[in-house]
Amino acid sequence: MKITKYLFVALMLVGCTTVTIGQSRNFKFGVKGGANLSNFRGSDVVSSSDPSVRIGNADARLTGFVGGVFMRLGSTLFIQPELLLSQKGGAFNVFRDGLSNDMNTVNVRFTNLDLPVLVGFRIGDVLRINAGPIASLRLSENGGLRAALNDLGANSVQDNFNQAALGYQAGIGFDIGNLSLDLRYEGNVTNVIDVNTDNSNFNSQLRRKGSLWQATVGFAIF
């Protein structure tokens, strides 16, 4: 898979950079962890086999864990690559006969390997602002998407899920000694859900991009 090759190359570059400047006082390496609040963006979908069934995005955000390692290269102007295990997704409301009292909520949770590469600017000794691209490689899914597709009469497309997504992150951070606090927004450029059936209109309706807020606490080891 192409995205896997890109992640491998990026990690090799980061590793080489780490060896080169590891003794610099403008280098930090640490661990971080926190939470994602995520959901989907997209239009309602009507079942291809039963017009009385439709699904729409639920308003509530799904909570998931995020954690991994980060490196920060530079001082006032810096670059910060990270490697994170991240749970994200969203929820669908499944309606039957168009009745809100006949509704089932399906949670869809993905576990991803995320590689954000942020460029940032430090303001004073504490405040940081940063933004940059992120590549997400999907490792697993909890079965919620298959359940939603089954409700829509599309039960033969589980092998056609989009396995990778490209997006962006932007946010602010605060450094207090070796502690780092970060709040970020993440959006997608490519779809996180993209199925392929013989109904092109259905395929188009079901496409989804992700949206999430992320809060983390990090600790610089050196």
- For the record, the structure tokens of 134 come out as 């992120």
Residue 171's nearest CA partner among 89, 116, 90, 113 is 116
Query: Each residue of 99-127: pLDDT tens digit?
Result: 555 667 888 899 999 999 999 999 998 99
Average pLDDT, the chain: 81
Residue 55's nearest CA partner among 42, 46, 68 is 46
∠ CA 65-68-71, nearest 5°, is 140
pLDDT value, residue 144: 77
- For the record, the structure tokens of 118 come out as 């942020």
pTM above 0.85, yes or no: no
| Number of independent structural domains in the chain | 1
Q: Are strands 164-176 and 179-188 parallel, antiparallel or unpaired?
A: antiparallel
Where in the sequence is the domain holding 64, given as residue range(s)? Answer: 2-220
How far is Cα 71 from Cα 189, in angstroms, rounded to an integer?
Answer: 24
Say whether pLDDT at 63 is over 80: yes
∠ CA 112-78-15, nearest 5°, is 55
Band of residue 19 on the pLDDT scale cut at 50, 70, 90? very low
61, 37 contact by CB (below 8 A):
yes
Say whether pLDDT at 152 is over 70: no
217, 32 contact by CB (below 8 A):
yes
CATH of residue 104? 2.40.160.20
Band of residue 10 on the pLDDT scale cut at 50, 70, 90? low
Say whether pLDDT at 155 is over 60: no
For residue 53, which amino acid is it?
A: V
Residue 116 burial by Cβ neighbours in a 10 Å radius (0-12, 13-18, 19+): buried
Say whether pLDDT at 87 is over 50: yes
Instruction: Give percent of the chain above pLDDT 90.
Output: 45
- For 154, the 3-state DSSP assignment is coil
pLDDT value, residue 159: 44
Q: Which comes out higher in pLDDT, residue 141 or 3?
A: 141
pLDDT value, residue 141: 84
